[in-house]
Chains A and B, each alone.
Chain A
Amino acid sequence: MIVLTDIAKQYGRVRANDSISLTLEPGRIYALVGENGAGKSTLMRILAGHTVPDSGTIAVRGASHARLTPALAASLGVGMLYQDPLDFPALPVWENFRLGGTARTRTEVIDKLGELSNHLGVCFLPGEAIASLTVGERQLLELLRLLDLGATTLILDEPTTGITPEQKRSLFGLLTRLAREENHTVVLVTHKLSEALEMADAIFVMRQGRLVSTLETPCGEDELVRLMFGEAVDRAGDVPPVSAPQTRRMVLDRAVFAGPKYHLGPLNIAAAPGEMIGLAGLDGSGQELFLRGLCGLDRLAEGGLELDGRRFERNDFKTLHKAGVHFVPADRMSQALFPDLSIREHILLAFPDQAGRLEDFRREQCEGRFNLRAHPDTPAKSLSGGNQQRLLLSLIPDGAPLLLMEHPTRGLDAGSSLQVWEHLRERCRDGATIFFFSPDLDEVIEHSHRVLVFYDRMLVADVPRAQATVETLGALMAGKNLEAWHAA
């Protein structure tokens, strides 16, 4: 049994954890829910020994500690599975499995891995390189490694991001077995309420650094939402209808995009003004290359690209940029912003012709439309994720005909996400065509007129809104039912 008492942690003026007390009992599954920035990760990092709390105690099986180190936490049986698996892609499965454990020979390691896999009903080839596994498989391996190290309390940070619905089911099945049969404690950190309700025996709800409630399941989703966000959240309405579905804004004609690692195509797609098109696919399935190719960052090897009736044989980035094609990558800080340059400097770089009336223009663009109230001299690296995305959106000129968004709400809290979607819909109403990718299928379904599904570096399906359900898309993303879909 683990008892956290009055845990507090402050970063500058932000109280990440504000006197949190909770108890974790063996054999139970807990969910820790809350918005981004609610303090979930800080609390779990304290439990795993990666962060030192300012005050409070952590009692594990009766022994009380003021702070843990990663080694101490591991010896007490606390194991943490991070959102991005902490493994070494260049090493084979068995070497990754051995990491952190005692010195053992290859045979011993492989025997142990086999024993554990067998016991838990999974399968690994010891000699295979990690790089060739899917995210889901890498998570499972990491989980086995933690169990092998003697973990009895398993913390999983957003484990279902980037894995297929089917992998999710097998992961959840495994976690349930570990809790029920082996008496392990499982803590699921998530912002997806459906998962919390489905899996957990008890749900901890955090908001602004505080533990606002502990709910025993079953409980109502409405109550959970209210606790998480404090007040009723407006859901975005339905996507606005496409005004002129027959007009062709963008046409790909037998287009082949050549990325650094693979080719994608030939693609034949047309999109109308005002259309929002979601892209679904597991990491590396081709949707990244699709967006990068469309804006000219990756080469158009064959075929043609047409924009508002103008045909391009080459997808030169500069030409397309001038024609109004804008790409917003998911990794905003490392790919789209200049960390030490201020908001004002970003505006000046994006709109050099506004230099004369920069301050007025900035106010209209950032404050008027996006409520981006940070001081204009704030460097981009000090902006919150939401403000970074607001800044990037305000750098796209009005009337840009084609927007390519890679996970537009990555790292944003619910309020900011809603604002981003409202803005994107506004642009669609004004006639922009938007392609966006999100690893969250619910989000893709909620905001698209149709969904393009990518699997194994191919575009495998173009699913209209009416048929786009988690089951259909999930199966297609995993390469299942492709024939059935195409026959239908």
Chain B
Amino acid sequence: MPRSSWLEQTLWMLAAPALALALTVLVALPSGAPPLQTLQVLLLGGLGSMSKFGQVLTVFVPLMLCSAGLLVPFTARLWNIGIEGQVVLGAIFCTGALMPFDQGGPAHVVLALGAGMLGGALWALLAGLLKTWGRVHEIFSGLGLNFVAMGLTIWLIFGPWKRPGVASMSGTETLDVSLWLDRMGRLASSWTALALAAAALLLVAVLLTRTQWGLGLKAVGQNPKAARLFDLSPRRRMLQAFALCGALGGLAGAVQVLGVYHRLLPSISSGYGYTALLVGMMASFRILPVPFICLFFAVLNVGSIQLPLQLNLDSSLSGVIQGLMVLSVFVTQGLRAWVTRRREGC
């Protein structure tokens, strides 16, 4: 029986960050960067001042929305890699919904957010239908649809939605200020966005742990054949899971448009969909650690902007660290399982 002591549990928990730290130092060393200072710059770059923290929150919100969304299909053991494209489609639908309006008010913002959710949900349903009726694995269809979504954005920006006179990578015409999300004082983030992220997490948590629907979804993930015998309509449930996740991804895209860039850009998703997948993996798709990991990753993302300025390092180091953290979690988990097995002597 694996009944390890409190001390042992803690040691295992600390093993993952320690390993990640060691690996990061190993990666940073060849480029001549002092390891401790690199970490310091990363953390202070994200938490050093209120305005930096505001930026952290603008990263946190879409990351949180995507991660919360991903928990839903994963409960049914579905890997919604297509989340990235769903964010993009959310942004496209959101921009499209506001096209007819030069200015507006809260009603228009709500409409745009709703349109974003619809766009994401529809794009996710596409992957879902291919999975449930077309026997296409959701990872392949999702990845494919991500590229289609990227192509679609670029076509829109350089084609139908180009700025009068100039078509450039800098995106569509900027929205009127009346269509922007509110601001937290002088910070870059918005209360509405933060509230949406919190609500999404709460909704997903309640749905997955407190409802019959969530239990059914878990059952579908555990054993689709048995789910059929229990009359749980596995296909319908999978589609619902895709749609819900897509809607949250789309909402993230809409927040990017309304609250951050105020227009449609080619790289509107900033790769948050993929980062959210890392968050989910690192949390082993449990709900509780997700907001903390999201916050941590957001700090790393914002902090890494300082790397080229202060240490002449490339800002992609934050991505490297995030990847290493996930790897470390897996390695220590595997190691722990192996040690336990050895001790039981099977």
A335-B230 contact in complex given A12-B1, A341-B222, A349-B216, C-beta closer than 8 Å? no
The answer to the question of A355 belonging to the interface, with a C-beta cut-off of 8 Å to chain B, is yes
Establish whether residues A339 and B230, one from each chain, have CB atoms under 8 Å apart when the complex forms: no
Q: How many Å lie between the Cα of A12 and that of B343 in the bound state?
A: 11
The answer to the question of A352 belonging to the interface, with a C-beta cut-off of 8 Å to chain B, is yes
Nearest-CB residue, chain A, relative to B220 = A338
Per-residue CB contact flags for chain B residues 199-235 toward chain A (1 = under 8 Å, else 0) read 0000000000000100110110011011111111100
The answer to the question of A270 belonging to the interface, with a C-beta cut-off of 8 Å to chain B, is no
Interface size class of B (residues with CB under 8 A): 20 to 34
The answer to the question of B36 belonging to the interface, with a C-beta cut-off of 8 Å to chain A, is no
Nearest-CB residue, chain B, relative to A332 = B226
The answer to the question of A398 belonging to the interface, with a C-beta cut-off of 8 Å to chain B, is no
B215 partner, pick from A322, A335, A336, A349, beta carbons under 8 A: A349
Establish whether residues A348 and B222, one from each chain, have CB atoms under 8 Å apart when the complex forms: no
Establish whether residues B212 and A348, one from each chain, have CB atoms under 8 Å apart when the complex forms: yes
Establish whether residues B226 and A337, one from each chain, have CB atoms under 8 Å apart when the complex forms: yes
Q: How many Å lie between the Cα of A322 and that of B228 in the bound state?
A: 13
The answer to the question of A11 belonging to the interface, with a C-beta cut-off of 8 Å to chain B, is yes
- For B222, the chain A residues whose CB sits under 8 A away are 338-341
- For B215, the chain A residues whose CB sits under 8 A away are 341, 345, 348-349
The answer to the question of B344 belonging to the interface, with a C-beta cut-off of 8 Å to chain A, is yes
Establish whether residues B346 and A338, one from each chain, have CB atoms under 8 Å apart when the complex forms: no
Establish whether residues A355 and B218, one from each chain, have CB atoms under 8 Å apart when the complex forms: no
Nearest-CB residue, chain B, relative to A52 = B345
Establish whether residues A349 and B229, one from each chain, have CB atoms under 8 Å apart when the complex forms: no
Minimum distance in angstroms from A478 CB to a CB of chain B: 31
Establish whether residues B229 and A336, one from each chain, have CB atoms under 8 Å apart when the complex forms: yes
Q: How many Å lie between the Cα of A340 and that of B229 in the bound state?
A: 17
The answer to the question of A297 belonging to the interface, with a C-beta cut-off of 8 Å to chain B, is yes
Interface CB pairs A-B, < 8 A, 29: A11-B346, A12-B1, A12-B344, A317-B228, A321-B231, A322-B231, A334-B223, A334-B225, A335-B223, A335-B225, A335-B226, A335-B229, A336-B226, A337-B223, A337-B226, A338-B218, A338-B219, A338-B222, A338-B223, A338-B226, A339-B222, A339-B223, A341-B219, A345-B215, A349-B215, A349-B219, A349-B230, A350-B230, A352-B212
Q: Of residues 308 to 325 in A, which have CB atoms within 8 Å of B's CB atoms?
A: 317-318, 321-322
Q: How many Å lie between the Cα of A464 and that of B254 in the bound state?
A: 70
- For A355, the chain B residues whose CB sits under 8 A away are 212
Q: How many Å lie between the Cα of A378 and that of B118 in the bound state?
A: 40
Q: How many Å lie between the Cα of A335 and that of B222 in the bound state?
A: 10
Minimum distance in angstroms from B316 CB to a CB of chain A: 38
Query: Which of B222, B225, B344, B346 has the most CB atoms of chain A within a 10 A radius of its CB?
Result: B222
The answer to the question of A327 belonging to the interface, with a C-beta cut-off of 8 Å to chain B, is yes
Minimum distance in angstroms from A156 CB to a CB of chain B: 26
Binding site of B, secondary structure by majority: helix, strand, loop or mixed?
Answer: helix
- For B228, the chain A residues whose CB sits under 8 A away are 297, 317
Q: How many Å lie between the Cα of A349 and that of B226 in the bound state?
A: 11
- For A318, the chain B residues whose CB sits under 8 A away are 231, 233
- For A352, the chain B residues whose CB sits under 8 A away are 212
Q: How many Å lie between the Cα of A297 and that of B233 in the bound state?
A: 13
Known A335-B225, A349-B230; 17 more pairs at CB < 8 Å? A12-B1, A12-B344, A317-B228, A317-B231, A318-B231, A329-B229, A335-B223, A335-B229, A337-B226, A338-B218, A338-B219, A338-B223, A341-B218, A341-B219, A341-B222, A345-B215, A348-B215
Q: How many Å lie between the Cα of A58 and that of B219 in the bound state?
A: 46
B232 partner, pick from A54, A334, A336, A349, beta carbons under 8 A: A349
B residues neighboring A (CB under 8 Å) = 1, 212, 215-216, 218-219, 222-223, 225-233, 344-346
Q: How many Å lie between the Cα of A327 and that of B225 in the bound state?
A: 12
Nearest-CB residue, chain B, relative to A338 = B222
Q: Of residues 1 to 60 in A, which have CB atoms within 8 Å of B's CB atoms?
A: 11-12, 54
- For B229, the chain A residues whose CB sits under 8 A away are 327, 329, 335-336
Nearest-CB residue, chain A, relative to B227 = A338
Q: How many Å lie between the Cα of A244 and that of B42 in the bound state?
A: 81
Q: How many Å lie between the Cα of A322 and that of B231 in the bound state?
A: 9
Query: Which of B1, B223, B226, B346 has the most CB atoms of chain A within a 10 A radius of its CB?
Result: B226
- For A327, the chain B residues whose CB sits under 8 A away are 229
Q: How many Å lie between the Cα of A341 and that of B219 in the bound state?
A: 7
Minimum distance in angstroms from B2 CB to a CB of chain A: 11
- For B344, the chain A residues whose CB sits under 8 A away are 12
- For A345, the chain B residues whose CB sits under 8 A away are 215, 219
Q: How many Å lie between the Cα of A303 and that of B232 in the bound state?
A: 28
Nearest-CB residue, chain A, relative to B226 = A336
Q: How many Å lie between the Cα of A352 and that of B212 in the bound state?
A: 8
Q: How many Å lie between the Cα of A355 and that of B210 in the bound state?
A: 12
Minimum distance in angstroms from B325 CB to a CB of chain A: 26
- For A317, the chain B residues whose CB sits under 8 A away are 228, 231
Nearest-CB residue, chain A, relative to B231 = A321
- For A350, the chain B residues whose CB sits under 8 A away are 230
Nearest-CB residue, chain A, relative to B1 = A12
Q: How many Å lie between the Cα of A348 and that of B218 in the bound state?
A: 13
Nearest-CB residue, chain B, relative to A381 = B222
Per-residue CB contact flags for chain A residues 354-372 toward chain B (1 = under 8 Å, else 0) read 0100000000000000000
Minimum distance in angstroms from A176 CB to a CB of chain B: 38
Query: Which of B1, B231, B346 has the most CB atoms of chain A within a 10 A radius of its CB?
Result: B231
Minimum distance in angstroms from A327 CB to a CB of chain B: 6
- For B223, the chain A residues whose CB sits under 8 A away are 334-335, 337-339
- By Cβ-Cβ distance, the 6 closest A-B pairs, closest first, are A338-B222, A335-B225, A321-B231, A338-B219, A336-B226, A338-B223
- For A335, the chain B residues whose CB sits under 8 A away are 223, 225-226, 229
Q: How many Å lie between the Cα of A298 and that of B223 in the bound state?
A: 18
Q: How many Å lie between the Cα of A421 and that of B223 in the bound state?
A: 27
Q: How many Å lie between the Cα of A341 and that of B75 in the bound state?
A: 12
Q: How many Å lie between the Cα of A440 and that of B176 in the bound state?
A: 78
Q: How many Å lie between the Cα of A329 and that of B216 in the bound state?
A: 20
- For B226, the chain A residues whose CB sits under 8 A away are 335-338
Nearest-CB residue, chain B, relative to A10 = B345
Per-residue CB contact flags for chain A residues 381-419 toward chain B (1 = under 8 Å, else 0) read 000000000000000000000000000000000000000
Q: How many Å lie between the Cα of A11 and that of B223 in the bound state?
A: 27
Q: How many Å lie between the Cα of A348 and that of B210 in the bound state?
A: 12
Q: How many Å lie between the Cα of A345 and that of B209 in the bound state?
A: 12
Minimum distance in angstroms from B333 CB to a CB of chain A: 16
- For A322, the chain B residues whose CB sits under 8 A away are 231
Q: How many Å lie between the Cα of A12 and that of B3 in the bound state?
A: 12
Nearest-CB residue, chain B, relative to A326 = B229
Q: How many Å lie between the Cα of A322 and that of B215 in the bound state?
A: 21
Minimum distance in angstroms from A23 CB to a CB of chain B: 28
Q: How many Å lie between the Cα of A327 and that of B232 in the bound state?
A: 15
Minimum distance in angstroms from B135 CB to a CB of chain A: 13
Q: How many Å lie between the Cα of A124 and that of B229 in the bound state?
A: 41
- For B230, the chain A residues whose CB sits under 8 A away are 349-350
Q: How many Å lie between the Cα of A336 and that of B230 in the bound state?
A: 8
Query: Which of B219, B229, B344, B346 has the most CB atoms of chain A within a 10 A radius of its CB?
Result: B229
Q: How many Å lie between the Cα of A329 and that of B345 in the bound state?
A: 33
Q: How many Å lie between the Cα of A412 and that of B316 in the bound state?
A: 58
